[in-house]
C-alpha cells in the first residue's frame, strides 16, 4: 500500500538535536542583536508571547529588561554583533542580569531556514543546555583604558597619513626635501614647511633652519627646495599641516586623559616603596615619534604589579596594548595555554578520521596578538636568550612560523608574570646556547646507543 503524503512528510521531519539532554538552567533568555531592533526569546511558559521584538532605543532597552525581570529570567545570552550589543549589555548588566556575550561563530549550526525569530530561540535553547561559552570581557576600568588607547592609536595613524599627504604635495611641486632629510615630520622638516607656508622661497634661508645634526649640506638642501610653487598645492600643504598639528594636539589630550584614568585604577604595588626594576637598557635620548610618555612605565607597574618591559622585545607601547586588551587578572584563563589559544597564537590543528586536515593557528583579530608578533620580530638582533631562541626557530621554521612561535612564548611569559607576580630575569644568550648544546648531545647519545654505538669527542675540539 502506498504511503500517504502526510506520513512521508512526518517521517522527514528533523529530529531535535537536544533530545535526551538534561537542561542546566531554565531561567534563560536568548537575544538576536541587530542595529535597529532586537528579538528576545524566553521559555514558553513565562509569557503568552515568548518571543518579542524591541527597538534599540534606550527606553525600549529598559522596557526589555523589565519584561525579562517579570519573566523570572536570570541569565541572558546574546551574540556579539558589531558594536550594537554594547548598549544592551550595559543596561542588562545594570539591572542585575548575568549577561553572556557569545561569538556568533558558535551559533551558526541552526537547522532549517534562518530568521531573527528562530535565531533568538536557538540561542536560548543552546544556553539552556549549557552549550555556549561566554566571551572574554575585561573589567570596566580596563575596557575604559582600552577605549582611550584605541583612540590614541587611531590618532597616531591619522598623523602618519597626514605626513604622507605632505610628502605627496611636495613631490608634485618637485620639492625633493625627503631625499635630504630622513624624517619630514622632524624638527628640521617641520621648520622648513612652516617657513614655506609663511612665504619663504630662498633655499639657503630655508636650509639655515635645519638642525646642526642634519648630515646633508646647506647646498644640497637648497637644491632640493627648487621646484614649482603651485598655489593649489601650497593650499593643500597648508591644510595638511594644520590637520597634522591638530592630531598632535589631540594625542597630547589623549595622553592626559589616559594618565587621569590610570590614577583612578587600583594599585598592586606602591612604586614609592617598591620602585620598578631598572629597564634592561637605559632609555635612548631620542624617543620614537608618538611613543607613550616614559612615566607610563611606572603606572603600568603600579596596576600590574610586574614590569612587562623587562622581557626582551616587549617595549612600553607593547606592554600598554597587552594590558589594555587582556587586563591584569589572569583567573579568566585556567592556564597559559588557554590564553595563547584565545590570542590565536597556539597550534590549532584540525584532525578528522586520524588525518590532519589543516595545520596552523586560529584566525583571530586581536590587538594584543598583533603587538606580540611585532615584539617577536624585535628579537632578531637581541643578544639575549629569547633572541637566540628566535633566531634558531627562524632558521628551522622560517620567519612567519618563528614569529608566531615566539609571540606564543612571550604570551606565556606574560601570563606567568601576571599570575604569580614574579619578575622576568634574562639568563643570557650563553646560557641558552649551552643548554641547547647539552640537549643536542643527549639526543645524539641516545640515538647512538639505540644503534649500538657511542659518541666520542674529537681531541682538541671544544665541546
Residue 294 CA to residue 300 CA, distance in Å, equals 11
Residue 6 included in any domain: no
Helix (H, G, I), strand (E, B) or coil at 454: coil
8-state DSSP, 51: E
Q: How far apart are the first and last CA of the chain?
A: 88
What pLDDT is recorded for position 281? 59
Helix (H, G, I), strand (E, B) or coil at 96: coil
Domain co-membership, 324 together with 414: yes
> Per the structure block, which three cell numbers stand in for 172?
608634485
Domain co-membership, 111 together with 165: no
Cα 439 from chain centre? 35
Residue 405 CA to residue 409 CA, distance in Å, equals 6
What pLDDT is recorded for position 285? 46
The vertex-217 CA angle with 214 and 222, nearest 5°, equals 105
CB 39 within 8 A of CB 88: no
Cα dist. 39→46, 78, 112, 268 in Å? 16, 10, 18, 43
* Residue 251 neighbours by CB under 8 Å, 6+ apart: 152, 155, 156, 159, 290
Domain co-membership, 419 together with 325: yes
Q: What is the number of structural domains in the chain?
A: 4
Place of cell 631625499: 179
Give the orientation angle of helix 58-70 with respect to helix 85-94, to 10 degrees: 50
Domain co-membership, 74 together with 155: no
Residue of 30, 43, 36, 51 whose CA lies nearest to 104: 30
Residue 284 included in any domain: no
Residue 350 CA to residue 358 CA, distance in Å, equals 5
Residue of 418, 463, 233 whose CA lies nearest to 311: 418
Residue 11 included in any domain: no
Domain co-membership, 357 together with 403: yes
DSSP 99-116: EEEE-GGGG----SS--H
What is the signed CA dihedral for 111, 116, 121, 127, rounded to 10 degrees? 90
Domain co-membership, 346 together with 367: yes
Residue of 319, 346, 332, 320 whose CA lies nearest to 412: 346
Residue that finishes a domain, picked among 128, 157, 179:
128
**Sign of the C-alpha dihedral computed for residues 226, 181, 163 and 248 taken in this order:** negative
Residue that finishes a domain, picked among 93, 128, 163:
128
Place of cell 627648487: 226
Residue 27 included in any domain: yes
Domain co-membership, 116 together with 159: no
What pLDDT is recorded for position 235? 95
Residue 291 included in any domain: no
CB 173 within 8 A of CB 227: yes
Residue of 41, 117, 24, 23 whose CA lies nearest to 77: 41
Domain co-membership, 313 together with 248: no
SS3 content of the chain, % helix, strand, coil (to 5): 55, 5, 40
What pLDDT is recorded for position 17? 53
Write out the chain's pLDDT in tens, 463 residues: 445 544 444 444 445 555 667 778 889 999 999 889 999 999 988 989 999 999 999 999 999 999 999 999 999 999 888 888 999 999 999 999 999 998 877 777 666 667 888 888 889 988 998 888 888 888 889 999 999 999 999 999 999 999 999 999 999 999 998 888 888 888 899 999 999 999 989 888 988 998 888 888 889 999 999 888 999 999 999 999 999 999 999 999 999 999 999 989 988 888 777 777 776 655 444 556 677 776 788 888 899 989 898 898 898 889 999 999 999 989 888 999 999 999 999 888 888 877 887 888 888 888 999 999 999 999 988 888 888 889 989 999 999 999 999 999 999 999 999 999 888 887 777 777 787 788 888 888 888 888 888 888 887 666 5
Give the orientation angle of helix 296-304 with respect to helix 231-264, to 10 degrees: 40
Residue of 460, 433, 456, 436 whose CA lies nearest to 445: 456
- What is the CATH number for 41? 3.30.420.140
Domain that holds residue 450: 434-463
Domain co-membership, 159 together with 218: yes
Residue 69 included in any domain: yes
Domain co-membership, 113 together with 38: yes
Domain co-membership, 333 together with 254: no
pTM: 0.79
Residue 17 included in any domain: no
Cα 425 from chain centre? 25
Residue that finishes a domain, picked among 97, 128, 159:
128
What pLDDT is recorded for position 66? 94
Domain co-membership, 154 together with 73: no
Radius of gyration of the chain (CA): 30
Give me the phi and psi of 57, to 5 degrees please.
-70, 155
Place of cell 604622507: 164
Residue 356 included in any domain: yes
Amino acid at each position: 500500500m502506498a504511503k500517504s503524503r502526510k506520513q512521508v512528510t512526518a517521517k522527514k521531519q528533523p529530529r531535535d538535536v537536544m533530545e535526551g539532554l538534561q537542561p542546566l538552567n531554565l531561567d534563560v533568555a536568548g537575544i538576536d542583536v541587530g542595529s535597529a531592533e532586537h528579538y528576545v526569546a524566553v521559555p514558553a511558559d513565562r509569557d503568552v508571547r515568548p518571543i518579542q521584538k524591541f527597538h534599540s532605543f534606550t527606553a525600549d532597552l529598559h522596557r526589555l529588561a523589565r519584561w525579562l525581570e517579570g519573566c523570572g529570567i536570570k541569565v541572558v545570552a546574546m551574540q556579539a554583533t558589531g558594536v550594537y550589543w554594547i548598549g544592551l549589555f550595559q543596561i542588562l548588566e545594570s539591572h542585575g542580569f548575568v549577561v553572556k556575550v557569545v561569538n556568533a561563530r558558535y551559533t551558526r549550526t541552526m537547522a532549517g531556514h534562518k530568521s531573527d525569530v528562530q535565531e533568538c530561540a536557538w540561542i536560548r535553547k543552546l544556553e539552556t543546555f549549557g552549550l555556549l561559552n561566554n566571551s572574554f570581557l575585561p573589567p570596566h576600568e580596563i575596557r575604559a583604558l582600552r577605549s582611550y588607547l584605541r583612540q590614541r592609536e587611531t590618532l597616531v595613524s591619522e598623523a602618519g597619513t597626514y605626513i604622507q599627504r605632505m610628502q605627496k604635495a611636495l613631490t608634485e611641486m618637485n620639492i625633493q626635501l625627503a631625499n635630504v632629510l630622513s624624517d619630514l615630520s622632524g624638527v628640521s622638516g617641520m621648520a622648513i614647511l612652516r617657513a614655506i607656508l609663511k612665504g619663504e622661497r630662498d633655499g639657503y634661508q630655508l636650509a639655515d633652519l635645519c638642525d646642526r645634526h642634519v648630515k646633508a649640506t646647506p647646498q644640497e638642501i637648497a637644491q632640493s627646495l627648487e621646484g614649482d610653487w603651485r598655489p593649489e598645492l601650497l593650499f593643500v600643504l597648508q591644510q595638511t599641516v594644520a590637520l597634522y598639528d591638530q592630531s598632535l594636539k589631540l594625542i597630547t589630550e589623549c595622553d592626559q586623559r589616559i594618565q587621569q584614568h590610570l590614577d583612578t585604577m587600583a594599585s598592586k604595588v606602591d612604586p614609592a616603596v617598591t620602585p620598578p626594576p631598572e629597564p634592561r637598557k637605559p632609555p635612548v635620548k631620542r624617543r620614537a615619534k608618538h611613543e607613550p610618555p616614559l612615566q607610563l612605565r611606572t603606572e603600568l607597574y603600579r596596576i600590574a604589579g610586574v614590569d612587562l618591559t623587562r622581557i626582551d622585545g616587549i617595549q612600553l607601547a607593547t606592554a600598554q596594548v597587552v594590558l589594555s586588551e587582556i587586563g591584569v587578572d589572569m583567573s579568566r584563563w585556567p592556564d597559559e595555554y588557554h590564553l595563547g589559544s584565545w590570542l590565536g597564537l597556539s597550534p590549532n590543528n584540525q584532525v578528522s578520521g586520524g588525518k590532519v586536515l589543516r595545520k596552523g593557528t586560529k584566525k583571530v583579530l586581536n590587538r594584543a596578538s598583533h603587538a606580540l608578533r611585532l615584539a617577536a620580530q624585535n628579537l632578531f638582533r637581541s643578544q639575549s636568550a629569547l633572541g637566540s631562541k628566535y633566531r634558531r626557530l627562524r632558521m628551522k621554521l622560517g620567519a612567519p612560523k618563528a614569529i608566531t612561535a615566539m609571540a606564543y612564548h612571550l604570551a606565556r611569559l606574560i601570563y606567568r608574570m601576571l599570575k604569580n607576580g614574579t619578575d622576568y630575569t634574562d639568563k643570557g644568550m650563553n646560557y641558552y646556547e649551552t643548554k641547547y648544546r647539552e640537549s643536542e648531545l643527549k639526543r645524539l647519545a641516545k640515538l647512538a646507543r639505540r644503534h649500538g654505538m657511542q659518541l666520542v669527542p674529537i681531541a682538541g675540539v671544544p665541546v
